[in-house]
Amino acid sequence: MKKIAVFTSGGDAPGMNACIRSVVRTGIYEGLEVEGIRRGYQGMIDNDFLPLERRSVANIIQLGGTILKTARCLDFMTPEGRQKAADNLRSRNIDGLVCIGGNGSYTGALKLYEEHGIPTIGLPGTIDNDLYGTDYTIGFDTAINTAVQAIDKIRDTADSHDRVFLVEVMGRDAGFIGISVGISGGAEGILIPEDTHDMEKIHRYFDRSDRRSKSFSIIVVAEGDQEGGVLVLSQKLSEKYPDLDIRATILGHIQRGGSPTANDRILASRLGYSAVHALIQGHKSQTLGIVNDKVKMTPFDEAIHKHKPINSSLIRMAEILSS
Ligand code: ATP
């Protein structure tokens, strides 16, 4: 192995830059040449590569987003697109790839390996924490901290005006962000896709006479929850409880940006470092994650198809703590 390339793909996540830095500096330390690919698979097809040196990744560990940019690339979903990408990689003598992204990016990397034999190590870069094979994904910790800071601020207004705030957080069809933000934000209710009884709990909460006398509440709602989002939900709850002053807030993309937390920087650094060593050791089609504080390797196929469950004891605990 003489030359590797690193790219970011799918949605951006805080900590991707720390991960790029780690791949570049570990690669160079191990005597490899390292290139970056701009805009993920799109750049691979467009031959948009750049050489990376130690200094190229100076002063980026604290930056959100990704210096390599990211993109969603439809061409790569076709065999012709992947052929072009493979031709470009071969013409540049790239022996291995580090792909920082989510499930879709993993799927692309698996196909590139199966069709063209190009080894790739996938690293979990998404705020949603919904990837199998790792306890945490790069960007999750930053995202939940951003959301909790927002909730602390909303709580001031909720308290001052005696209002109920429904706060929608990201997470797609998974409730990792929702449950974590709900617990750490001290929410009175948490609605996540994995909990099919969560709406009953909300009604129980509002129906209890002692709770109705409490002046304000924060309800965290995961975007993938079955209730259809905070706007629909606030309408329904307002009709059922006309005496409550209910407001809806969608936190949206502020959760995706910002300087990564120390935890995300450490996670990204560990995974980037291990990815380079995995390529050097000859691993070809694997993802890396951290499980019980140890780096764990999972084949792409398994990481793509296995479901990562939410810790159900957290759901029970959250209910008890909020009552
Ligand atoms: P995020 O979790 O942020 O959505 P992701 O990696 O899942 O990240 P996607 O948009 O699903 O994001 O995938 C990123 C890119 O991976 C796609 O734009 C496409 O180029 C490639 N890709 C996704 N699915 C496939 C597939 N089935 N075959 C080939 N390439 C794919």
Question: Does residue 319 sit within a domain?
Answer: no
Domain boundary among 232, 256, 280: 256
CA of 189 to the centre of ligand 1 (A): 33
Question: Does residue 317 sit within a domain?
Answer: no
Question: Does residue 81 sit within a domain?
Answer: yes
* Pair (152, 244) in one structural domain: yes
> Residue 211 pLDDT > 80, yes or no?
no
Give the model's pLDDT for residue 98: 98
> Residue 307 pLDDT > 90, yes or no?
yes
Query: Pick from 123, 97, 113: which is nearest to 287 by CA?
Result: 123
pLDDT in tens, 216-230: 899 999 999 998 899
* Pair (135, 267) in one structural domain: yes
Domain that holds residue 162: 142-256
Q: Quick one: which H or E segment has residue 248?
A: strand 246-250
Question: Does residue 320 sit within a domain?
Answer: no
Q: At 187, is the pLDDT very low, low, confident or very high (cuts 50, 70, 90)?
A: very high
Mean pLDDT of the chain: 95
Q: At 209, is the pLDDT very low, low, confident or very high (cuts 50, 70, 90)?
A: low
pLDDT in tens, 85-142: 999 999 999 999 999 999 999 999 999 999 999 999 999 999 999 999 999 999 999 9
Question: Does residue 35 sit within a domain?
Answer: yes
Counting from 1 in the atom list of ligand 1, the atom nearest the Cα of 71 is 18
Give the model's pLDDT for residue 218: 95
Q: Which residue has the higher pLDDT, 212 or 178?
A: 178
Q: What is the number of domains present in the chain? A: 2
> Residue 192 pLDDT > 70, yes or no?
yes
* Pair (241, 149) in one structural domain: yes
Concerning whether 128 is annotated as a catalytic residue, the answer is yes
* Pair (271, 198) in one structural domain: no
* Pair (15, 128) in one structural domain: yes
In the chain, count H helices and then E strands: 12, 11
* Pair (208, 276) in one structural domain: no
Query: Pick from 308, 49, 321, 307: which is nearest to 183 by CA?
Result: 321
* Pair (128, 230) in one structural domain: no
Question: Does residue 323 sit within a domain?
Answer: no
Q: At 309, is the pLDDT very low, low, confident or very high (cuts 50, 70, 90)?
A: very high
Query: Pick from 53, 52, 27: which is nearest to 277 by CA?
Result: 27
* Pair (182, 279) in one structural domain: no
Would the CB of 43 count as within 6 Å of ligand 1? no
Question: Does residue 181 sit within a domain?
Answer: yes
Question: Does residue 239 sit within a domain?
Answer: yes
Tell me the percentage of the chain whose pLDDT exceeds 70: 98
Would the CB of 285 count as within 6 Å of ligand 1? no
Give the model's pLDDT for residue 204: 83
CB within 8 Å of 167: residues ≥ 6 apart: 147, 150, 151, 154, 185, 187, 218, 219, 220, 221, 230, 249, 251
Ligand 1, atom 18: closest residue by C-alpha: 72
* Pair (199, 266) in one structural domain: no
Query: Residue 63 belongs to a domain with what CATH number?
Result: 3.40.50.450
CA of 27 to the centre of ligand 1 (A): 25
Q: At 198, is the pLDDT very low, low, confident or very high (cuts 50, 70, 90)?
A: confident
Q: What is the pTM of this model?
A: 0.96
The arithmetic mean of pLDDT across residues 149-167, rounded, is: 95
Rounded distance between C-alpha atoms, residue 7 and residue 17, angstroms = 10
* Pair (129, 179) in one structural domain: no
> Residue 199 pLDDT > 90, yes or no?
no
* Pair (80, 160) in one structural domain: no
Domain boundary among 256, 275, 295: 256
Residue 4 near residue 95, CB atoms below 8 Å:
yes
Would the CB of 36 count as within 6 Å of ligand 1? no
Query: Residue 216 belongs to a domain with what CATH number?
Result: 3.40.50.460
Q: Among residues 46, 95, 128, 156, which one is catalytic?
A: 128
* Pair (114, 28) in one structural domain: yes
> Residue 212 pLDDT > 60, yes or no?
no
With tokens 């909300």, the residue in question is: 202
Structure tokens at 112: 């590139």
pLDDT in tens, 265-306: 999 999 999 999 999 999 999 999 999 999 999 999 999 999
> Residue 196 pLDDT > 90, yes or no?
no
Would the CB of 101 count as within 6 Å of ligand 1? yes
Sign of CA dihedral 169, 172, 173, 179: negative
